Amino acid sequence: MRQNILFVCTGNTCRSAMAAHLAAQIKDRHLPLAAFRFDSAGLAAVDGYPPSENAVAALKEWDIDITDHRSKKFQSYMVERADLIACMTEMHKNAILTEYPETAGKVFFLGELSGSNEEIPDPYMGSLARYRLTRDVLHAEIQRMLEKLSETKGKGE
């Protein structure tokens, strides 16, 4: 059965956008039989904004093109579609749980899912080096999360 994973941050122009694209690459390269689908949204996002320049540049270095990404505001229909909501911070998780208590059991911050218990710091308006660091941390966290999930869920049909 396919598992729909939604990555959530604040504005959906940096972390969650990068996370969804990194997750797709990790799945394709390392877990090709896993049935995961990825999307992203932001709790304070405005629909239609492009990704930040440095997010584009950091992922382009890994041959990932996110130039077509457009920000999406987190909405109630996303709660219904997502099997798992992976937030960048505990604050994001708590905001979702407050507004959508029915998400208990499917909303976590990424560090909970990977086992690191670390939050993903926001690189917004930071240097390319800061975005590279965020990319690298996201990659490691997502890879651990997907490996754990693929042990029990997301197996190909």
Active site amino acids: 9, 15, 122
Q: DSSP for 82-111? A: -SEEEESSHHHHHHHHHH-GGGTTTEEEHH
| Tokens 């660091």 -> residue | 133
What size, in residues, is the chain?
Answer: 157
Residues 69, 35 contacting (CB under 8 angstroms):
no
CA distances from 150 to 1, 2, 103, 140, 143 (A): 11, 11, 21, 15, 10
